[in-house]
Structure 1
Amino acid sequence: MITFWKNVFRYPKFFVTTLIGLILIILSPFIYFFKESKNKFIVIFLFILFFSIIIILLNQIIEF
């Protein structure tokens, strides 16, 4: 029974490390493009556009 609880307490740590790894893998191409000075404005514009579309869609769904 002790090994059961030991395994149960290890799952949150596994989940957090897996989630951080996934975020780093997804963001690594954007970080590469952000390092080049000519692409900074395009990347910043795309991030702002993406988050503004998400905010508009969520506001329409919730109907504020």
Structure 2
Amino acid sequence: MYIFWENVWKFPRFLISVCVGFFLTAAYPFFQLSKNKKMLYLILFIFSLLSGIFYTILKSMLGYS
């Protein structure tokens, strides 16, 4: 029974490391593109634009004015 609880205790750390690894792997091409100054500005512009759109949509969906 001790081994079972030890494995249950390890699962959240494993899940967090898998999620962080997924996002770092998915973001790696953007890190490579950000080495170029023009591409960095483009990435930041697109990210801010998407964040603004997401904020506006959530604000409308939740009924905040």
Q: Same fold (TM over 0.5)?
A: yes
Q: Which has the higher helix share?
A: 1
Supply the AA of the counterpart residue of 1:57.
I
TM superposition outliers: structure 1 runs of 4+ over 4 Å:
none
Q: TM-score, normalised by structure 1?
A: 0.92
Q: Which runs of 5 or more residues in structure 2 are unaligned? A: none
Aligned length: 64
The within-5 A match list for 1:1-64 is: 1-64=1-64
Q: TM-score, normalised by structure 2?
A: 0.91
Query: What RMSD in Å do the two structures reach over aligned CA positions?
Result: 0.8
Q: Which runs of 5 or more residues in structure 1 are unaligned? A: none
